[in-house]
Amino acid sequence: MKKGFIFDLDGVIVDTAKYHYLAWKKLAQSIDVHFSEAENEQLKGVSRVKSLEKILEWGNKTISESDFMKLMALKNDDYLGYINTMNESEILPDVLKVLKFLIEKEQGIALGSASKNARTILKKVNLFHHFEAIVDGNDVVKGKPNPEVFLSAAKALNINPEHCIVFEDSVAGIQAANTANMISIGIGESSVLQEADFVFADFTHINSQFLNELINK
């Protein structure tokens, strides 16, 4: 049966969290806010607007709307500098192997990401052409944990949500997949991704038997 396999981007296909961290850190420093790697963890899967709101909240800062827009643009320019250096070598281990296996089995493949830079990143790492549907931060109004991004991806694939499987590294993303009535597969630590139906440290732990079971369920 044709199932819909929906991939998150940051933390699932590539590790762009390290670039987000460097860019947010530089920005936080410029406005005298301390920003740690642990706090960066809390920004995973969170939109750019919400991320800046959180950083300002942590630093107890209030700024005008125009300054807010300027800071967001500055952060993104810096982030894009890092993205520009990316190539295929940054695809996380066995992601391509799993993608190719699912494509060979004629499954629906979609991207469901909060990032407004998702299309640029997919092109940089040469994966764009593998996706039948792409839904990213430009296409949704409500961010994860709202299920909008995954429901839109299912719709674009023309597959019922209950026949979709989501790969996600963030708690908010797992909650979004569960609310969408999809099978949620956490990529990361099981202690963090407790709400997921299944958790794997990375794609090297996902074998073809498991994928076949999902397809034939």
Residues that bind Mg ion (CB under 5 A): 8, 10-11, 45, 169-170
Strands 133-135 and 164-168: unpaired
Residue 115 touches ligand B16, criterion: CB under 6 A = yes
Span near ligand B16 by CB under 6 A; candidates 94-102, 107-115, 183-191, 196-204: 107-115
The edge-to-edge listing of strands for the beta sheet with 164-168 is 133-135, 108-112, 4-7, 164-168, 183-187, 198-200
152 binds ligand B16 (CB under 6 A): no
107 binds ligand B16 per the rule CB under 6 A: no
Answer with the entry of Mg ion, ligand B16, none that 51 interacts with (C-beta below 5 to 8 A by kind).
ligand B16
- Tell me if 43 contacts ligand B16 by CB under 6 A: yes
* DSSP single-letter state for residue 210: H
Buried b (16+ CB within 10 A) or exposed e, 144-173: bbbbbbbbbbbebbebebebbbbbbbbbbb
Q: How far is the CB of 178 from Mg ion (least distance, A)?
A: 15
**CA atoms of 168 and 171, how far apart (whole Å):** 8
45 binds ligand B16 (CB under 6 A): yes
In whole angstroms, the minimum distance from the beta carbon of 104 to Mg ion comes to 25
Task: Measure the CA–CA gap between 116 and 118, rounded to whole angstroms.
Answer: 6
Number of residues that bind ligand B16 (CB under 6 A): 20
Catalytic residues: 8, 10
